[in-house]
Every structure is written in C-alpha cells, then in structure tokens.
Structure 1
Amino acid sequence: MQLSVKRLSRLLRSNAVISLMGNGASAVLGFVMLGVLTRLMPKDELGRWLLFLTYFTLFDVVRNGFVLNGFIRHATAEHTNVPVFRRWVGAAWQLSALLTGSVALLVLGLAVLVPADWFSDSGNWSDGFGWFLTLMLVSMPASHSMWFWHAQSRFTPIQIIRPGIQALQLVLIGVGWMQFGQLTSTWLYQSYALAYGSVSVGVVLFGGSRLRDVRLGTKAERQALFDFGKFSTGTLLLSNLLRSSSTFLISAFLGPAAVTVYTLPQRLLELVEMPTRSIVITAIPQLVALHQQQKIGRFAEEFHRHAGQLWIALLPVAVGGFIFAEPLVTLLGGTGYEDSVLVLRFFMVYAALLPLERYSGVGLDALGLPNRNLQKVIIMLLVNVIGTVIALYLFKSVASVAFVSIATFLSGLLLGFRMMKPHAAVSLPTTLRVGWQQGGYLLNRVRHEFAR
C-alpha cells in the first residue's frame, strides 16, 4: 500500500500529469466562461470578443514561435549555468520587445484600414485596437516568465498562471455584470487586459519575469534566437491560421454574430482535440528513436499501433458528439444557438479523422521530413481558405464552412500517409485495421472482467 501511495505521489508530481491537469483546468474554465457569456451577451457582442481573442492568439503564436522555441532549444541546456542563462533571458526579452513594437506599429497602421466594428462595439477603433495594443504590452511579463520556467522544466507555476488569468477574468466578468447589468465586448477587452496585467505584476514582484536580465542579452544570443525563430514561426503561424482562417472569413462575410455560432461547437471540439494533443506528443520520442536506429519495420508497427489505438479510443466520442449534438450545444450555449447543432455534427465527422491526421504529421516529423509536413499544412490551409470562400459565397452559412473542415483534414490525412509511404511501410488501411483489432481486444477484456 505504501509503495502504491509513493507511486501515486510521484505520478501526480510528474511534469506530464501537472501539464495535463493545468490544461484540463484551463479547458474547464474556458467552457464555463463561454457558457456564461453566451447566456449574458448578444451574439454580435460576443462575436466581437471571440474575434478579438482569435487575433490576440494569433499574435501570441507568432511571439512564441519567434522567441520561445529558439529559447527552449538554446537555453534549456544552460539553465544551471547562471551567467549564460541570464544572457539568453536578456536576448529573449530584447527580441520579444522588438517584435511587439513592430507588430504594434502594424496594428496602428491597420487601424486606419480595417473596419472598426470588427473589434469595437461603439465604432471607435480605440476600443478594439487600443486594448489590443495594451494587451500586447501587459502580457509580456506573464508570457516571458512561462518561457523561462519552461526552459528550467518548472511546469507547476506555468499551469497555475494560465488558469489563473482565466479565473481572474471570470471574476471581473461577474463584477461587470453586477455593476452595469450588461456585458459589452469592450468590457471583455478591458477585463482580459486587467487580468493579464495583474498576473504580470505578480510575476514581476516575485521575480519570475527576470526583468533585471533584460540588459544582459548580446548580439550572439539575439542572432541565434532570430535564426531559429524565423523558420519555426512560419510553421506555427500556418498551423494556427489553419484553425483561425475560417473565423476571419466568417466575420468578413457574415459578421460577428456568425462567429459566435461557429465558435460554440468549435470549443466543444476540444473534447477530442485536447486528449489528441496530449497523447500524440508522447509517441514522438519512441518513433524518432526507432527511425534513428534504422528500425523502419518496427517504426511502422508502432505507428500503426499508436495511431490506431487513439483513433478507436476517440471514435466513440466523435459518434456521441454527432448523436447528442443538440443537447451538448444547449448545455454550453443555452437557447438561441440551434444553428450550431449542424455545425457541431460536421465537426464531429472531422473529429473522427483528427487523430489520424495528427499522427500523419508526427510521423513525417519523426522520419526527419519536417519540410514535407510543412507542405502538408500549406496545402490544407489552401483547401480550407478556398473551400471556405466558395462555401460562404454560394451558401452564406456557417454550417457550409464546417463541412469544408472535413475536406480540409481528409486532404491532410491522405497527403500525410502518402508522403510517409516512400520512407516507411505505413498505410491508412493497416492503421484502421489495427485500431479495430485493438478496440475488439479491449471490449473482450471488459466483457471477460464483467463475466467473472
């Protein structure tokens, strides 16, 4: 018993479990917040906030890709060498400040060109663009502290900060509702900036942001971060655009209210996406090792097993989401979101393909073919953008955009397996067959246990 308790204690303290718990808490808070907002706000106001959040997420992806990935690559091995690590921290701050300033100038320029009502509830560009600029600035200490802790493998504070920002904004949303009797998109911009800023002040006071190291970065570290970041940013940006491009196009064609109708089932899709992300990443080290050892036959076997198991495990979730789409939408969004039901059903069809598509990308990376994986993402993005524009032009409905997502991920799935085939004996039919076999074996085990 004591041994079991010790094992459980070690498991709960492991980085993987801490990360999963933090992501789970963040997902739950995200569902709660969206459920509250759909019941308290008109669709167009909520749509403006969701669009604002999509743009900020895109900026954050660029900032992370430009600085974080290179920082992790170079600074992780030096985190015990204090002087060297401090130089990397300073260079990360300097490069991030340069990027943030450049994007701020771009945003100010766009303020003249982009329709204000994409962001603002009052027609004043400063409501949206102004708070976007504020958020870019106040989020820097909190974001940077997470980079530095990541390099030191200190995952606990990272998983506290992310849900902490959401929880604080949820409190501020409640304050706004009690104070004003209504919620506007502007209040959500303000509350998010205030929540992020408050956490940033906290990490500065406790030393997590390492502001004192800003001046220590040198040209050598900045150049190394820039050289790595200019490539990784492109891949991350394209991957994020694959998810967000439909939102931008829906807003342009149909307005912010339609963004809400589309985003509600998209959040429910996280029931499949979150475990997929968490599980797929665990297979990468083994597949990479098998490829490096030239064990290509074993690589194919393990690929089929991992991909097939995840596909068959999440297939019931996708089927359940398809069947129970209406009560799920009502549970999250309340009444008035009937149009989201068909969208969710289309998303659940695409969710059934998601584990296989994700593993095709992981397989390409493990085989040392990141360029082919990038080509796959570019083709998927083109399919999605062209298909979405055609769907919106012909049908003018959000459901048609969700249908395009099926074609997008099916194309990525087929391309990924085709690109892997010359380098490893992997195939989609074999993956599906192995998945069915694994599912049948599990069901037999369950029946056997109940029969005992």
Structure 2
Amino acid sequence: MGFLKKVINKHTLSLASNAIMPVLGMAILSLMAKYLSPADFGDYIFFLVIFTLADTFRTGFLQTALIKYYAGASPERAANIAGSAWFVGFTIVVTAAVGNLALYFLYFGGSVNMVITLKWFSLIFLSTLPTAIAGWVLQAEERFDKLFMVQLINQGGFFILIVVLIILHRANFQNAIYCYFINNVISSIVTTAVGWSKIKTISKKSWTSVNELFHFGKFSVGTSISSYLLRSSDTFIIKMMFPSNLLPVYYLPQRLMELFEIPMRAFVATALPTMSAAVHRGDKKYVSYIMKKYAGMLTIALIPVAIVAFLLVDIVIGLLFSKYQHSEAGNIFRIFMCFVMLLPIDRFFGITLDIIGKPQLNMIKVFIMLTVNVVADFAGIFIFHNLYGVAIASIFTFFSGAIFGYWALKKHLEFSIKDIFYLGYLELMELIGMLFQKMRKKGAEQN
C-alpha cells in the first residue's frame, strides 16, 4: 500500500483525469462513425465544433482566471472567487442563449438536425456549467482524485449511453443529442450534490471579484478562441482548397496528436495551482523553476516517444482506421513529429504569461501563430499542391510561438532555453531513478 500511495500522487492522478477525455472521446467518435449514418455523423461533428467553440469561450474566460485567484487564497477569498465565477458563468450562458434564440427563429433552412441543434444548444450549454466549474475548482485545490472522478462520470456516462443506443438500434443524431444532454445533467447533479461545484458560494460573490475575473478573462478568452481557431484553421483551409474526401486524411493525424496532449494537460493542471500560489507569494524565482521543470521534463520525455511514433504510425493508423493505412495520413503525422518537442515549451510559455498577469502577451503570441499558420498554409499549398504543404506550415507556426513566448517571458523571468533542457533532464532522471528505487525496494520486501 505504501508503494501505491507514492506512485498514485497528484501527477499520476492528473495524468489519469486528463487521459479520460481524449481516450473515451476517441472511442465515442469511433462508435458513432460506425453506427450513425454519414449524414448524422457529419451533423454531430458540426454540433461538436459549434459547442466546443462556445465552451472554449467560457473556459477561456473563466478557467485560468479562477485558478489564478482561487489557488492559495484564504477560504473566504476562495469562496468569493468561486461565487463570482458562477455569476460570470451564468452571464455567459444567458448571453449565448439570447443569441441562440435569435438564430432559432431566424433559421429558415430545411435541415431537421440543424433545428435540433439550435433547439437544444442553450440547455446543453447550461447543463455543462456546474461540471465545468467543479473541474476548475478541483484543479485549483489540486484534488486530482476528485477531478478524475468528474471526468470518468462525464465521459464514461456518455459512452455508456451511446452503447445503449447502439444495442437498442436507436443510434441517430437526435438520440445522440438527447444522450449528450441527459449525461451532462446527471454529471452536474452529482458534482453539485457532493459540493464540488461550489454553487452555494454564489451568494458570496462581489463586484470587485467579478471585475477581476472579467478583466483577466477578456485577454485569456481571446487566447483560447484564437487557439481553437489555430487548431481548426487547417481544416477550414483544406475544406476550401481540396476535395472533402481529403479532410479525414489530415484530420486523423491531428486526432492522434491528442495523445501527446494527455501528458501536457496533466502537467499543466498540476503546475497551474503551484505557479499561482508562487505568484501570490511574489516568488518569481519559483515560478520560473516550475515552468522550466515541467516544460523541460515533457520535452525530454517526448523525444523517444516521438521517434517510436514516427516509425510505427502506419501500424497504428492501420489498426484504428484501416482504410487510411496507405494514405498520406502516416507521412503527415511524421511531419507533425518534427515539431512535437516544441509543444511543451510553447504551452508553458503561454500559461506562465497568463499566471504572471500578462495574458495580453499570451493572446498576442497566439494571434501571431494563427497569422503565421494561415499564411504558411496557403504558401505551402501553392508550393507543394498537396496536404504536405499544410502540415509543413505547422512547423513555422510553433516556432513563431516559441520564439515570441521566450522573448516575452525573458522580460519578466530569469531563464534560458538551455536551463529548460538541463533542468528537465535532471528532474526526469531523478524521477525515473526514484521509481526504479521504489520498485526494487518493493521487490525486496516481497522476497
């Protein structure tokens, strides 16, 4: 039991909670692609894109701001921030509902599925609010065990409902939307009933804290929306410049890249509260240390993973999506591997700018990346006349983000790129050594 307690710490729990979403999400999409009609599956993807855009706006406005002011605060201040976040969250939902209602009455198209999307969108957006706030609060409190349960209930519940639809031969767009809504209602009831969503703190909100969250959020939301558009811009450009049947060839490698997002999200979730607490103490040196440690460890750890992925990607695509095994998807993924080591550095430069109170610089960084990506996409298509040009453009995109992020952070923190690699290597070797030592000790105790 002692060994398990040491291994199952906040880092592994954070990794597990962040792995639940993409892994189960991939499984759900695979089931839907198989059992929904092509038209229904396409409409569901459209719903996801629109809902994710709205959720990205809400998350961008509140998540980092809530964690920044909640982590390390006194109980009274934490309750005040949580209540103010609830008020801002409700305001965003009501604003979205007004816009949604206008679209519902102004829509004169003949798509039944579009009518269903417009009819249920606001209710679904509201139903996800308690679960979303619960997740951010638990992240700020570093209760990754509870956060894991929230993710498991939410994604696992939806997976079960989709399986039930398939067993009953009722898998279609409309029923999938109903299940999406029901599942989020259940998740929110659970998180509210056990007190994780902190809904009772709404009475402790203050206009000062609401303004604090709004002032910080107006910059971070720009960053989040731009980041979402950055991820989606390739898809829009490919849709515009190439036949639709080439979209999956590029989309599949993008989805596989989400596997690299799992450890990054886990490390970011672990680092954010610690960095925020250090900012509250005015300890810039420790903020720099945390940034270098996590960015460096992830970068070093991804190198062997990227090499293996580079070599075995065709096998993976063949196992998961057999008909695309001999397409350009494998080579596109290999191009992505050329910049995957930049992802942790770029990500931690961005969140560190947010945490030290410079979200406007992070927003500028993402705007620069978006601009570079769009220009480089068209240039790549003009030069290569194929999807490889779009993939190669991504290399320039992430280099531009890392360069600007380094330049912006150097004005506020003392560090160098060499420090990131050196500290990351030392910390990773120490972690591996500790794990081997614990395993040997456990083996000796059993013998």
Q: Output the TM-score relative to the length of structure 2.
A: 0.76
In structure 2, the residue matched to 1:376 is 365
Going from structure 1 to structure 2, the CA distance change for 1:114 and 1:412 (only over 3 Å counts) comes to: farther
Counterpart CA distance in 1 for 2:12 and 2:283 is: 29
Deviation at 1:30, TM superposition (A): 2.6
- 1:97-112 superposed matches below 5 A: 97-110=90-103
Going from structure 1 to structure 2, the CA distance change for 1:346 and 1:207 (only over 3 Å counts) comes to: same
In structure 2, the residue matched to 1:449 is none
- In structure 1, give the amino acid aligned to 2:5: S
In structure 2, the residue matched to 1:200 is 188
In structure 1, the residue matched to 2:89 is 96
Going from structure 1 to structure 2, the CA distance change for 1:212 and 1:246 (only over 3 Å counts) comes to: same
The answer to whether the 8 Å contact 1:139/1:200 transfers is: yes
The answer to whether the 8 Å contact 1:329/1:341 transfers is: yes
Deviation at 1:125, TM superposition (A): 2.4
In structure 2, the residue matched to 1:335 is 323
Counterpart CA distance in 2 for 1:68 and 1:394 is: 40
Q: In structure 2, which of residues 24, 31, 51 is the aligned counterpart of residue 29 of structure 1?
A: 24
The answer to whether the 8 Å contact 2:346/2:398 transfers is: yes
In structure 2, the residue matched to 1:238 is 226
Deviation at 1:100, TM superposition (A): 0.9
The answer to whether the 8 Å contact 1:288/1:367 transfers is: no
The answer to whether the 8 Å contact 1:46/1:260 transfers is: no
C-alpha root-mean-square deviation of aligned residues, in Å? 4.4
1:58 aligns with 2:58: no
Counterpart CA distance in 1 for 2:215 and 2:249 is: 40
- 1:71-82 superposed matches below 5 A: 71-76=66-71, 80-81=75-76
In structure 1, the residue matched to 2:262 is 274
Counterpart CA distance in 2 for 1:252 and 1:163 is: 37
Counterpart CA distance in 1 for 2:145 and 2:425 is: 38
Counterpart CA distance in 1 for 2:389 and 2:137 is: 43
Deviation at 1:69, TM superposition (A): 3.5
Counterpart CA distance in 1 for 2:425 and 2:43 is: 47
- In structure 2, give the amino acid aligned to 1:60: D
Counterpart CA distance in 1 for 2:421 and 2:7 is: 33
Counterpart CA distance in 2 for 1:271 and 1:235 is: 22
Q: Output the TM-score relative to the length of structure 1.
A: 0.75
In structure 2, the residue matched to 1:172 is 161
Q: In structure 2, which of residues 308, 312, 315 is the aligned counterpart of residue 320 of structure 1?
A: 308
The answer to whether the 8 Å contact 2:235/2:247 transfers is: yes
- In structure 2, give the amino acid aligned to 1:99: I
- In structure 2, give the amino acid aligned to 1:378: F
Deviation at 1:123, TM superposition (A): 4.8
Going from structure 1 to structure 2, the CA distance change for 1:304 and 1:24 (only over 3 Å counts) comes to: closer
Deviation at 1:129, TM superposition (A): 2.4
The answer to whether the 8 Å contact 1:45/1:256 transfers is: no
1:6 aligns with 2:11: no
- In structure 1, give the amino acid aligned to 2:65: G
In structure 1, the residue matched to 2:437 is none
Going from structure 1 to structure 2, the CA distance change for 1:415 and 1:144 (only over 3 Å counts) comes to: closer
For structure 1, which runs of at least 5 residues remain unmatched after alignment?
446-452
The answer to whether the 8 Å contact 1:380/1:411 transfers is: yes
The answer to whether the 8 Å contact 2:70/2:81 transfers is: yes
Counterpart CA distance in 1 for 2:68 and 2:424 is: 39
Counterpart CA distance in 1 for 2:78 and 2:106 is: 42
Deviation at 1:102, TM superposition (A): 0.8
Counterpart CA distance in 2 for 1:187 and 1:370 is: 40
1:38-83 CA distance string (max 9 Å, x none): 44346664344334223322322321332344333444556634xx
- In structure 2, give the amino acid aligned to 1:63: R
- In structure 2, give the amino acid aligned to 1:318: A
Counterpart CA distance in 2 for 1:394 and 1:289 is: 48
In structure 2, the residue matched to 1:154 is 143
Going from structure 1 to structure 2, the CA distance change for 1:253 and 1:94 (only over 3 Å counts) comes to: farther
Going from structure 1 to structure 2, the CA distance change for 1:36 and 1:154 (only over 3 Å counts) comes to: same
Counterpart CA distance in 2 for 1:237 and 1:316 is: 32
- In structure 2, give the amino acid aligned to 1:376: K
Deviation at 1:103, TM superposition (A): 1.6
Q: In structure 2, which of residues 377, 389, 405 is the aligned counterpart of residue 416 of structure 1?
A: 405
Counterpart CA distance in 2 for 1:311 and 1:191 is: 39
Q: In structure 2, which of residues 376, 391, 402 is the aligned counterpart of residue 402 of structure 1?
A: 391
The answer to whether the 8 Å contact 1:250/1:392 transfers is: no
The answer to whether the 8 Å contact 2:339/2:395 transfers is: yes
Deviation at 1:341, TM superposition (A): 2.8
Deviation at 1:359, TM superposition (A): 4.9
Deviation at 1:239, TM superposition (A): 2.7
Counterpart CA distance in 2 for 1:307 and 1:68 is: 21
- Secondary structure at the aligned position of 2:168 is classed as helix
Counterpart CA distance in 1 for 2:369 and 2:17 is: 30
The answer to whether the 8 Å contact 2:133/2:197 transfers is: yes
Comparing 193-202 with 356-365, which one deviates more in the overlay?
356-365
Counterpart CA distance in 1 for 2:241 and 2:86 is: 38
Going from structure 1 to structure 2, the CA distance change for 1:355 and 1:135 (only over 3 Å counts) comes to: same
The answer to whether the 8 Å contact 2:14/2:269 transfers is: no
- In structure 2, give the amino acid aligned to 1:102: T
Counterpart CA distance in 1 for 2:284 and 2:198 is: 43
- In structure 1, give the amino acid aligned to 2:214: F
Deviation at 1:136, TM superposition (A): 0.5
Counterpart CA distance in 2 for 1:207 and 1:344 is: 43
Identical pairs, percent: 29
- In structure 2, give the amino acid aligned to 1:405: S
Going from structure 1 to structure 2, the CA distance change for 1:426 and 1:339 (only over 3 Å counts) comes to: same
The answer to whether the 8 Å contact 1:39/1:334 transfers is: no
Deviation at 1:380, TM superposition (A): 0.3
For structure 2, which runs of at least 5 residues remain unmatched after alignment?
434-447
1:40 aligns with 2:40: no
Counterpart CA distance in 1 for 2:283 and 2:40 is: 55
